[in-house]
Structure 1
Amino acid sequence: MQVSINAQRALIWWALAMMVAFMLCFVFLIKMVPLPAATLNAEQVAAIYRNNSVSIRIGSIICSWVAAFMVPLAMVITMQMRRMEQGWPIWSVLQLCGGCLMSMFLVFPPLLWGVAAFSPGRPAEITLAIHELANLTLVTTDQYFIFQYVAIAVIALTGQQSALSPFPRWFGYYTIWTAIMFELGAFGFIPRTGPFAWNGLFVFWIPLTIFGVWIVITSTLILGALKRQAQIA
Protein backbone atom coordinates (compact mmCIF):
# COMPACT_ATOMS: atom_id res chain seq x y z
CA MET A 1 0.00 0.00 0.00
CA GLN A 2 2.85 2.37 0.80
CA VAL A 3 4.31 1.97 -2.70
CA SER A 4 0.91 2.83 -4.20
CA ILE A 5 0.65 5.97 -2.06
CA ASN A 6 4.12 7.11 -3.07
CA ALA A 7 3.29 6.49 -6.73
CA GLN A 8 0.13 8.59 -6.42
CA ARG A 9 2.09 11.42 -4.81
CA ALA A 10 4.63 11.28 -7.61
CA LEU A 11 1.92 11.46 -10.26
CA ILE A 12 0.32 14.49 -8.61
CA TRP A 13 3.58 16.42 -8.39
CA TRP A 14 4.38 15.41 -11.96
CA ALA A 15 1.04 16.83 -13.11
CA LEU A 16 1.53 20.06 -11.14
CA ALA A 17 5.05 20.56 -12.52
CA MET A 18 3.78 20.05 -16.06
CA MET A 19 0.92 22.50 -15.49
CA VAL A 20 3.30 25.20 -14.22
CA ALA A 21 5.61 24.67 -17.21
CA PHE A 22 2.62 24.92 -19.56
CA MET A 23 1.43 28.18 -18.04
CA LEU A 24 4.89 29.77 -18.05
CA CYS A 25 5.35 29.00 -21.74
CA PHE A 26 1.78 30.04 -22.51
CA VAL A 27 2.37 33.45 -20.90
CA PHE A 28 6.01 34.28 -21.60
CA LEU A 29 6.99 32.40 -24.77
CA ILE A 30 3.84 31.91 -26.82
CA LYS A 31 2.50 35.15 -25.32
CA MET A 32 -1.18 34.29 -25.62
CA VAL A 33 -2.34 35.59 -22.24
CA PRO A 34 -4.60 37.30 -22.93
CA LEU A 35 -5.45 35.98 -26.38
CA PRO A 36 -5.11 38.64 -29.10
CA ALA A 37 -8.39 40.35 -29.88
CA ALA A 38 -10.66 38.51 -32.29
CA THR A 39 -11.12 41.78 -34.19
CA LEU A 40 -7.53 41.80 -35.53
CA ASN A 41 -7.29 41.49 -39.30
CA ALA A 42 -5.16 38.93 -41.15
CA GLU A 43 -2.11 41.19 -41.49
CA GLN A 44 -2.15 42.15 -37.81
CA VAL A 45 -2.31 38.50 -36.76
CA ALA A 46 0.42 37.51 -39.19
CA ALA A 47 2.63 40.25 -37.74
CA ILE A 48 2.32 38.68 -34.28
CA TYR A 49 3.71 35.40 -35.58
CA ARG A 50 6.41 37.07 -37.69
CA ASN A 51 7.66 39.19 -34.79
CA ASN A 52 7.60 36.32 -32.29
CA SER A 53 8.28 33.34 -34.53
CA VAL A 54 11.20 31.83 -32.58
CA SER A 55 9.66 32.45 -29.16
CA ILE A 56 6.32 30.91 -30.17
CA ARG A 57 7.96 27.86 -31.70
CA ILE A 58 10.09 27.23 -28.61
CA GLY A 59 7.06 27.70 -26.40
CA SER A 60 5.07 25.32 -28.57
CA ILE A 61 7.75 22.65 -28.18
CA ILE A 62 7.64 22.81 -24.39
CA CYS A 63 3.86 23.19 -24.19
CA SER A 64 3.40 20.19 -26.45
CA TRP A 65 5.59 18.12 -24.13
CA VAL A 66 3.72 19.04 -20.95
CA ALA A 67 0.16 19.85 -22.10
CA ALA A 68 -1.22 16.41 -21.17
CA PHE A 69 -0.78 17.15 -17.46
CA MET A 70 -4.36 16.07 -16.77
CA VAL A 71 -3.51 12.41 -17.52
CA PRO A 72 -1.46 11.62 -14.37
CA LEU A 73 -3.80 13.70 -12.20
CA ALA A 74 -6.87 11.91 -13.60
CA MET A 75 -5.21 8.57 -12.85
CA VAL A 76 -4.77 9.44 -9.18
CA ILE A 77 -8.31 10.82 -8.94
CA THR A 78 -9.55 7.52 -10.37
CA MET A 79 -7.69 5.51 -7.74
CA GLN A 80 -9.13 7.66 -4.96
CA MET A 81 -12.67 7.50 -6.36
CA ARG A 82 -12.40 3.73 -6.67
CA ARG A 83 -11.98 3.51 -2.90
CA MET A 84 -15.47 4.99 -2.49
CA GLU A 85 -17.38 3.02 -5.15
CA GLN A 86 -19.14 -0.29 -4.68
CA GLY A 87 -19.12 -2.85 -7.47
CA TRP A 88 -17.92 -1.97 -10.94
CA PRO A 89 -16.43 1.58 -10.70
CA ILE A 90 -18.39 3.26 -13.47
CA TRP A 91 -17.91 6.82 -12.14
CA SER A 92 -14.19 6.29 -11.65
CA VAL A 93 -13.77 5.00 -15.20
CA LEU A 94 -15.89 7.83 -16.62
CA GLN A 95 -13.72 10.35 -14.79
CA LEU A 96 -10.53 8.75 -16.14
CA CYS A 97 -11.83 8.78 -19.72
CA GLY A 98 -12.96 12.41 -19.44
CA GLY A 99 -9.70 13.54 -17.86
CA CYS A 100 -7.54 11.83 -20.48
CA LEU A 101 -9.62 12.96 -23.45
CA MET A 102 -9.75 16.57 -22.28
CA SER A 103 -5.96 16.67 -22.28
CA MET A 104 -6.01 16.46 -26.08
CA PHE A 105 -7.59 19.89 -26.28
CA LEU A 106 -4.76 21.30 -24.18
CA VAL A 107 -2.23 19.75 -26.58
CA PHE A 108 -3.77 20.97 -29.85
CA PRO A 109 -3.62 24.78 -29.31
CA PRO A 110 0.19 25.00 -28.79
CA LEU A 111 0.66 22.68 -31.76
CA LEU A 112 -1.40 25.04 -33.91
CA TRP A 113 0.36 28.17 -32.59
CA GLY A 114 3.64 26.47 -33.51
CA VAL A 115 2.33 25.74 -37.01
CA ALA A 116 1.25 29.36 -37.43
CA ALA A 117 4.74 30.54 -36.46
CA PHE A 118 6.56 27.87 -38.47
CA SER A 119 6.24 29.69 -41.83
CA PRO A 120 5.84 33.39 -41.01
CA GLY A 121 6.14 34.32 -44.68
CA ARG A 122 3.02 32.48 -45.80
CA PRO A 123 -0.12 34.42 -46.89
CA ALA A 124 -1.60 36.24 -43.90
CA GLU A 125 -5.06 34.75 -44.45
CA ILE A 126 -3.70 31.23 -43.89
CA THR A 127 -1.97 32.25 -40.67
CA LEU A 128 -5.21 33.89 -39.52
CA ALA A 129 -7.15 30.65 -40.11
CA ILE A 130 -4.62 28.61 -38.10
CA HIS A 131 -4.62 31.25 -35.36
CA GLU A 132 -8.42 31.21 -35.11
CA LEU A 133 -8.48 27.41 -35.00
CA ALA A 134 -5.91 27.38 -32.18
CA ASN A 135 -7.71 29.97 -30.06
CA LEU A 136 -11.18 28.53 -30.53
CA THR A 137 -9.86 25.03 -29.81
CA LEU A 138 -8.52 26.32 -26.50
CA VAL A 139 -11.63 28.12 -25.26
CA THR A 140 -14.59 26.23 -26.75
CA THR A 141 -13.60 22.58 -26.31
CA ASP A 142 -15.31 21.72 -23.04
CA GLN A 143 -16.92 18.54 -24.36
CA TYR A 144 -14.90 16.14 -22.21
CA PHE A 145 -14.42 18.28 -19.11
CA ILE A 146 -18.03 17.68 -18.13
CA PHE A 147 -17.58 13.89 -17.82
CA GLN A 148 -14.73 14.25 -15.36
CA TYR A 149 -16.42 16.91 -13.27
CA VAL A 150 -19.83 15.21 -13.09
CA ALA A 151 -18.25 11.90 -12.05
CA ILE A 152 -16.24 13.57 -9.28
CA ALA A 153 -19.28 15.51 -8.09
CA VAL A 154 -21.39 12.35 -7.90
CA ILE A 155 -18.80 10.60 -5.74
CA ALA A 156 -18.32 13.65 -3.51
CA LEU A 157 -22.05 14.16 -3.00
CA THR A 158 -23.24 10.55 -2.76
CA GLY A 159 -20.21 8.61 -1.57
CA GLN A 160 -19.59 7.63 2.02
CA GLN A 161 -17.78 10.46 3.77
CA SER A 162 -14.74 9.48 5.82
CA ALA A 163 -11.50 10.96 7.07
CA LEU A 164 -9.64 9.02 4.36
CA SER A 165 -11.67 10.50 1.49
CA PRO A 166 -10.20 13.41 -0.51
CA PHE A 167 -13.66 14.44 -1.75
CA PRO A 168 -15.68 16.31 0.91
CA ARG A 169 -19.24 17.27 0.08
CA TRP A 170 -18.38 20.95 -0.47
CA PHE A 171 -15.89 19.90 -3.13
CA GLY A 172 -18.71 18.25 -5.05
CA TYR A 173 -20.65 21.52 -5.16
CA TYR A 174 -17.50 23.42 -6.09
CA THR A 175 -16.83 20.98 -8.95
CA ILE A 176 -20.38 21.41 -10.26
CA TRP A 177 -19.91 25.19 -10.27
CA THR A 178 -16.60 24.77 -12.09
CA ALA A 179 -18.25 22.62 -14.75
CA ILE A 180 -21.03 25.16 -15.29
CA MET A 181 -18.55 28.02 -15.67
CA PHE A 182 -16.56 26.00 -18.20
CA GLU A 183 -19.61 25.57 -20.39
CA LEU A 184 -19.60 29.32 -21.05
CA GLY A 185 -16.53 28.81 -23.23
CA ALA A 186 -18.69 27.58 -26.11
CA PHE A 187 -20.00 31.14 -26.57
CA GLY A 188 -16.56 32.07 -27.93
CA PHE A 189 -17.83 31.12 -31.38
CA ILE A 190 -20.33 33.99 -31.46
CA PRO A 191 -19.05 37.48 -30.50
CA ARG A 192 -15.70 39.06 -31.33
CA THR A 193 -15.78 41.62 -28.51
CA GLY A 194 -17.08 41.78 -24.96
CA PRO A 195 -17.12 39.29 -22.07
CA PHE A 196 -18.10 36.35 -24.31
CA ALA A 197 -15.37 36.92 -26.91
CA TRP A 198 -12.54 34.38 -26.94
CA ASN A 199 -10.41 36.71 -24.79
CA GLY A 200 -13.32 37.94 -22.65
CA LEU A 201 -14.14 37.55 -18.97
CA PHE A 202 -16.54 34.59 -19.22
CA VAL A 203 -14.83 32.67 -22.01
CA PHE A 204 -11.14 33.16 -21.21
CA TRP A 205 -10.36 34.69 -17.82
CA ILE A 206 -12.86 32.92 -15.60
CA PRO A 207 -12.33 29.41 -17.06
CA LEU A 208 -8.54 29.85 -17.05
CA THR A 209 -8.55 30.98 -13.42
CA ILE A 210 -10.98 28.43 -12.02
CA PHE A 211 -9.28 25.62 -13.93
CA GLY A 212 -5.96 26.38 -12.26
CA VAL A 213 -7.61 26.83 -8.86
CA TRP A 214 -9.57 23.59 -9.24
CA ILE A 215 -6.39 21.63 -10.01
CA VAL A 216 -4.59 23.12 -7.00
CA ILE A 217 -7.52 22.41 -4.66
CA THR A 218 -7.95 18.87 -6.00
CA SER A 219 -4.25 18.11 -5.65
CA THR A 220 -4.16 19.54 -2.12
CA LEU A 221 -7.17 17.47 -1.03
CA ILE A 222 -5.69 14.28 -2.47
CA LEU A 223 -2.23 14.86 -1.00
CA GLY A 224 -3.86 15.39 2.39
CA ALA A 225 -5.90 12.20 2.02
CA LEU A 226 -2.79 10.27 0.95
CA LYS A 227 -1.03 11.39 4.12
CA ARG A 228 -3.90 10.11 6.25
CA GLN A 229 -4.06 6.88 4.27
CA ALA A 230 -0.34 6.34 4.75
CA GLN A 231 -0.72 6.75 8.52
CA ILE A 232 -3.47 4.12 8.57
CA ALA A 233 -1.45 1.78 6.36
Structure 2
Amino acid sequence: MSANPNPYETERLLGEYLLFHYGSAEEILPESAPAGMREALDFAVRTTRHFSPGTVERTLDLGCAVGRSAYELSRSSTETLGIDFSQNFIRAAAAMTGSPLPYGRLDEGHRRTPLLARLPEGLPVNEVRFETGDAMSLRRDLGDFDRVHAANLLCRLTQPDRLLERFPSLVRPGGELVIATPCTWLGEYTPPANWPQGSTLDWLKLKLGGDFELVSMKDEPFLIRETARKFQWTASMVTAWKRLP
Protein backbone atom coordinates (compact mmCIF):
# COMPACT_ATOMS: atom_id res chain seq x y z
CA MET A 1 0.00 0.00 0.00
CA SER A 2 0.98 3.69 -0.15
CA ALA A 3 3.62 4.98 2.29
CA ASN A 4 1.22 7.78 3.27
CA PRO A 5 -0.65 7.42 6.59
CA ASN A 6 -3.75 5.32 6.18
CA PRO A 7 -6.77 7.69 6.48
CA TYR A 8 -8.97 4.74 7.39
CA GLU A 9 -7.27 4.52 10.81
CA THR A 10 -8.72 7.85 11.99
CA GLU A 11 -11.57 8.08 14.49
CA ARG A 12 -13.47 10.33 12.09
CA LEU A 13 -13.47 7.73 9.31
CA LEU A 14 -14.31 4.98 11.79
CA GLY A 15 -17.37 6.93 12.89
CA GLU A 16 -18.42 7.60 9.29
CA TYR A 17 -18.19 3.93 8.37
CA LEU A 18 -19.96 2.66 11.48
CA LEU A 19 -22.79 5.03 10.61
CA PHE A 20 -22.63 3.96 6.94
CA HIS A 21 -22.86 0.26 7.83
CA TYR A 22 -25.08 0.22 10.92
CA GLY A 23 -26.84 3.59 11.19
CA SER A 24 -30.62 3.89 10.88
CA ALA A 25 -32.28 6.22 8.40
CA GLU A 26 -33.15 8.52 11.28
CA GLU A 27 -29.50 8.67 12.39
CA ILE A 28 -28.17 9.32 8.89
CA LEU A 29 -30.67 11.50 7.02
CA PRO A 30 -31.80 15.08 7.60
CA GLU A 31 -35.54 15.68 7.79
CA SER A 32 -35.41 17.40 4.40
CA ALA A 33 -33.67 14.47 2.66
CA PRO A 34 -34.90 13.81 -0.91
CA ALA A 35 -36.04 10.32 -1.90
CA GLY A 36 -32.78 9.59 -3.69
CA MET A 37 -30.84 9.79 -0.46
CA ARG A 38 -33.10 7.26 1.22
CA GLU A 39 -32.75 4.86 -1.73
CA ALA A 40 -28.96 4.97 -1.28
CA LEU A 41 -29.04 3.56 2.27
CA ASP A 42 -28.06 -0.02 3.21
CA PHE A 43 -25.42 -0.33 0.47
CA ALA A 44 -23.44 -2.86 2.54
CA VAL A 45 -26.53 -5.08 2.54
CA ARG A 46 -27.63 -4.55 -1.06
CA THR A 47 -24.30 -5.59 -2.60
CA THR A 48 -24.52 -8.99 -0.87
CA ARG A 49 -27.80 -9.68 -2.70
CA HIS A 50 -26.00 -9.94 -6.04
CA PHE A 51 -25.00 -13.52 -5.24
CA SER A 52 -27.26 -16.40 -6.26
CA PRO A 53 -29.71 -17.74 -3.67
CA GLY A 54 -28.75 -20.75 -1.59
CA THR A 55 -26.21 -21.68 1.05
CA VAL A 56 -22.48 -22.25 0.59
CA GLU A 57 -19.53 -23.43 2.63
CA ARG A 58 -16.97 -20.56 2.49
CA THR A 59 -17.30 -16.82 1.79
CA LEU A 60 -14.66 -14.08 1.65
CA ASP A 61 -15.37 -10.36 2.08
CA LEU A 62 -12.39 -8.29 0.89
CA GLY A 63 -12.21 -4.69 2.02
CA CYS A 64 -14.85 -5.54 4.59
CA ALA A 65 -14.45 -2.23 6.49
CA VAL A 66 -16.49 -2.45 9.73
CA GLY A 67 -18.11 -5.73 8.79
CA ARG A 68 -21.77 -5.33 7.89
CA SER A 69 -21.50 -7.15 4.54
CA ALA A 70 -19.56 -10.01 6.13
CA TYR A 71 -22.27 -10.51 8.74
CA GLU A 72 -24.96 -10.37 6.05
CA LEU A 73 -23.08 -12.92 3.95
CA SER A 74 -22.86 -15.24 6.95
CA ARG A 75 -26.64 -15.75 6.71
CA SER A 76 -26.03 -18.19 3.88
CA SER A 77 -22.45 -19.33 4.48
CA THR A 78 -21.08 -21.82 7.00
CA GLU A 79 -17.82 -19.86 7.29
CA THR A 80 -17.23 -16.18 6.46
CA LEU A 81 -13.90 -14.35 6.53
CA GLY A 82 -13.62 -10.55 6.40
CA ILE A 83 -10.31 -8.88 5.54
CA ASP A 84 -9.47 -5.17 5.62
CA PHE A 85 -6.25 -3.13 5.61
CA SER A 86 -7.44 -0.96 8.51
CA GLN A 87 -6.75 -2.34 11.99
CA ASN A 88 -9.27 0.15 13.39
CA PHE A 89 -12.01 -1.16 11.11
CA ILE A 90 -11.20 -4.80 11.85
CA ARG A 91 -11.30 -4.25 15.61
CA ALA A 92 -14.72 -2.61 15.26
CA ALA A 93 -16.04 -5.34 12.94
CA ALA A 94 -14.99 -8.12 15.33
CA ALA A 95 -16.54 -6.28 18.29
CA MET A 96 -20.00 -6.20 16.72
CA THR A 97 -20.96 -9.63 18.07
CA GLY A 98 -20.55 -8.35 21.63
CA SER A 99 -22.31 -5.43 23.28
CA PRO A 100 -23.29 -2.37 21.19
CA LEU A 101 -20.25 -0.38 20.07
CA PRO A 102 -20.23 3.33 21.05
CA TYR A 103 -18.99 5.89 18.52
CA GLY A 104 -19.42 9.56 17.68
CA ARG A 105 -21.33 10.99 14.73
CA LEU A 106 -19.77 14.26 13.56
CA ASP A 107 -22.39 16.99 13.18
CA GLU A 108 -20.23 20.08 12.69
CA GLY A 109 -16.99 21.50 14.04
CA HIS A 110 -16.53 20.07 17.54
CA ARG A 111 -20.15 18.93 17.83
CA ARG A 112 -20.66 15.19 17.93
CA THR A 113 -23.64 12.99 18.75
CA PRO A 114 -22.92 9.76 20.66
CA LEU A 115 -24.45 6.70 18.96
CA LEU A 116 -24.34 2.93 19.33
CA ALA A 117 -23.56 0.54 16.47
CA ARG A 118 -25.24 -2.85 16.72
CA LEU A 119 -26.09 -5.78 14.48
CA PRO A 120 -29.72 -5.93 13.34
CA GLU A 121 -31.90 -7.86 15.75
CA GLY A 122 -32.37 -11.45 14.67
CA LEU A 123 -29.46 -11.50 12.20
CA PRO A 124 -28.40 -15.18 12.13
CA VAL A 125 -24.63 -14.94 12.44
CA ASN A 126 -22.80 -18.14 11.54
CA GLU A 127 -19.01 -18.46 11.93
CA VAL A 128 -17.49 -15.04 11.06
CA ARG A 129 -13.81 -14.16 11.45
CA PHE A 130 -11.96 -10.94 10.72
CA GLU A 131 -8.29 -10.20 10.07
CA THR A 132 -6.15 -7.37 8.76
CA GLY A 133 -4.59 -7.89 5.36
CA ASP A 134 -3.49 -6.22 2.15
CA ALA A 135 -5.79 -7.09 -0.77
CA MET A 136 -2.80 -6.81 -3.12
CA SER A 137 -0.74 -9.28 -1.10
CA LEU A 138 -3.10 -11.75 0.55
CA ARG A 139 -1.62 -14.63 2.51
CA ARG A 140 -1.13 -17.72 0.37
CA ASP A 141 -2.88 -20.14 2.73
CA LEU A 142 -6.33 -18.50 2.50
CA GLY A 143 -7.64 -21.36 0.38
CA ASP A 144 -10.52 -20.93 -2.02
CA PHE A 145 -14.12 -19.79 -1.57
CA ASP A 146 -17.59 -20.32 -2.97
CA ARG A 147 -18.25 -16.57 -2.83
CA VAL A 148 -15.91 -13.58 -2.88
CA HIS A 149 -17.25 -10.06 -2.26
CA ALA A 150 -15.14 -6.93 -2.88
CA ALA A 151 -17.06 -3.67 -2.48
CA ASN A 152 -15.56 -0.23 -3.20
CA LEU A 153 -12.04 -1.61 -3.00
CA LEU A 154 -10.44 -1.73 -6.46
CA CYS A 155 -10.03 2.02 -7.00
CA ARG A 156 -8.46 2.41 -3.56
CA LEU A 157 -5.52 0.08 -4.35
CA THR A 158 -2.15 1.25 -5.64
CA GLN A 159 -1.90 -1.84 -7.87
CA PRO A 160 -5.42 -3.19 -8.50
CA ASP A 161 -4.10 -5.61 -11.14
CA ARG A 162 -2.54 -7.67 -8.35
CA LEU A 163 -5.94 -8.38 -6.82
CA LEU A 164 -7.55 -9.17 -10.17
CA GLU A 165 -4.76 -11.68 -10.85
CA ARG A 166 -5.48 -13.37 -7.50
CA PHE A 167 -9.24 -13.77 -7.99
CA PRO A 168 -9.05 -17.01 -10.07
CA SER A 169 -7.25 -18.78 -7.22
CA LEU A 170 -9.65 -17.40 -4.60
CA VAL A 171 -12.93 -18.40 -6.28
CA ARG A 172 -13.71 -22.09 -6.66
CA PRO A 173 -14.82 -23.38 -10.09
CA GLY A 174 -18.54 -22.64 -10.28
CA GLY A 175 -18.20 -20.09 -7.48
CA GLU A 176 -19.20 -16.44 -7.61
CA LEU A 177 -17.42 -13.10 -7.44
CA VAL A 178 -19.15 -9.76 -6.79
CA ILE A 179 -17.15 -6.58 -7.37
CA ALA A 180 -18.54 -3.13 -6.59
CA THR A 181 -16.59 -0.06 -7.64
CA PRO A 182 -17.53 3.61 -8.06
CA CYS A 183 -14.71 3.85 -10.64
CA THR A 184 -13.39 6.98 -8.88
CA TRP A 185 -9.79 6.62 -9.93
CA LEU A 186 -7.68 9.11 -7.94
CA GLY A 187 -3.93 9.62 -8.00
CA GLU A 188 -3.77 9.82 -4.21
CA TYR A 189 -4.74 6.14 -4.07
CA THR A 190 -3.81 4.66 -7.47
CA PRO A 191 -1.01 6.02 -9.67
CA PRO A 192 -2.54 7.05 -13.03
CA ALA A 193 -0.30 4.53 -14.81
CA ASN A 194 -2.28 1.80 -13.02
CA TRP A 195 -5.74 3.11 -13.96
CA PRO A 196 -7.77 1.32 -16.66
CA GLN A 197 -6.91 2.68 -20.10
CA GLY A 198 -10.57 2.63 -21.15
CA SER A 199 -13.74 2.03 -19.15
CA THR A 200 -13.50 0.13 -15.90
CA LEU A 201 -16.07 -2.40 -17.15
CA ASP A 202 -14.07 -3.16 -20.31
CA TRP A 203 -10.93 -3.49 -18.18
CA LEU A 204 -12.63 -5.99 -15.85
CA LYS A 205 -13.87 -8.00 -18.83
CA LEU A 206 -10.35 -8.10 -20.25
CA LYS A 207 -8.71 -9.07 -16.97
CA LEU A 208 -11.31 -11.57 -15.74
CA GLY A 209 -12.80 -12.90 -18.98
CA GLY A 210 -10.46 -15.88 -19.29
CA ASP A 211 -11.54 -17.30 -15.92
CA PHE A 212 -14.97 -15.79 -15.25
CA GLU A 213 -18.28 -15.26 -17.01
CA LEU A 214 -19.94 -11.89 -16.46
CA VAL A 215 -23.44 -12.65 -15.16
CA SER A 216 -24.86 -9.20 -14.41
CA MET A 217 -24.05 -5.53 -14.03
CA LYS A 218 -26.05 -2.93 -12.10
CA ASP A 219 -25.42 0.48 -10.58
CA GLU A 220 -26.05 0.68 -6.82
CA PRO A 221 -26.11 4.10 -5.13
CA PHE A 222 -24.59 4.66 -1.72
CA LEU A 223 -24.59 7.51 0.77
CA ILE A 224 -21.92 8.48 3.31
CA ARG A 225 -22.77 11.19 5.83
CA GLU A 226 -19.79 13.42 6.60
CA THR A 227 -21.57 16.10 8.65
CA ALA A 228 -25.15 17.19 9.28
CA ARG A 229 -25.09 19.13 6.01
CA LYS A 230 -22.55 17.30 3.88
CA PHE A 231 -23.13 13.91 2.26
CA GLN A 232 -21.36 11.80 -0.37
CA TRP A 233 -23.90 10.36 -2.85
CA THR A 234 -22.16 8.00 -5.25
CA ALA A 235 -23.15 5.25 -7.70
CA SER A 236 -21.10 2.07 -7.60
CA MET A 237 -20.94 -0.31 -10.55
CA VAL A 238 -21.72 -3.82 -9.23
CA THR A 239 -20.67 -6.72 -11.45
CA ALA A 240 -21.40 -10.37 -10.66
CA TRP A 241 -19.16 -13.08 -12.14
CA LYS A 242 -19.24 -16.89 -12.22
CA ARG A 243 -15.95 -18.84 -12.12
CA LEU A 244 -15.60 -21.03 -15.17
CA PRO A 245 -14.85 -24.76 -14.74
TM-score by length of 1: 0.25
Higher helix share: 1
Q: TM-score, normalised by structure 2?
A: 0.24
Name whichever structure is richer in strand by fraction: 2
